[in-house]
């Protein structure tokens, strides 16, 4: 679960630091929590599919899912 937590935390922090417009964006801990749960689901799915932990495809999907989730949570569709 450490990669999912690290990814969620880094995405939450960088979004707060790099975005100026915060209207409509969820709170930091809400974003981090949602991304963490999504990341854990991806890691568990990768473990079930491949039968072992640490497969690079799983980490690539983790980055895609968490990045897309953060983009949506940060209010990218509310323009």
Q: Which domain holds residue 79?
A: 1-11+29-79
The pLDDT tens digits of the residues spanning 23-75 come to: 555 788 888 999 999 999 999 999 999 988 888 999 999 999 999 988 888 77
Domain count, the chain: 1
What is the reported pLDDT for 77?
Answer: 66
Q: What is the pLDDT of residue 46?
A: 93
What's residue 72's pLDDT? Answer: 85
Within a domain: residue 21? Answer: no
Q: DSSP states of 24-51 as a string?
A: TPPPHHHHHHHHHHHHHHHHHHHHHHHS
Is the residue at 34 inside a domain?
Answer: yes
Would 18 be classed as within a structural domain? no
pLDDT at 22 over 70: no
Instruction: Tell me whether residue 7 is in a domain.
Output: yes
Does residue 51 sit within a domain? yes
Evaluate if residue 79 carries a pLDDT over 70.
no
Q: Is residue 58 part of a domain?
A: yes
């Amino acid at each position: 679960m450490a990669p999912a937590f690290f990814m969620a935390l880094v995405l939450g922090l960088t979004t707060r630091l790099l975005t100026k417009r915060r209207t409509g964006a969820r709170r930091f801990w809400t974003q981090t929590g949602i991304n963490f749960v999504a990341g854990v689901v991806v890691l568990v799915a990768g473990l079930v599919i491949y039968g072992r932990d640490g497969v690079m495809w799983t980490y690539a999907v983790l980055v895609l899912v968490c990045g897309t989730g953060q983009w949506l949570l940060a209010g990218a569709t509310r323009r």
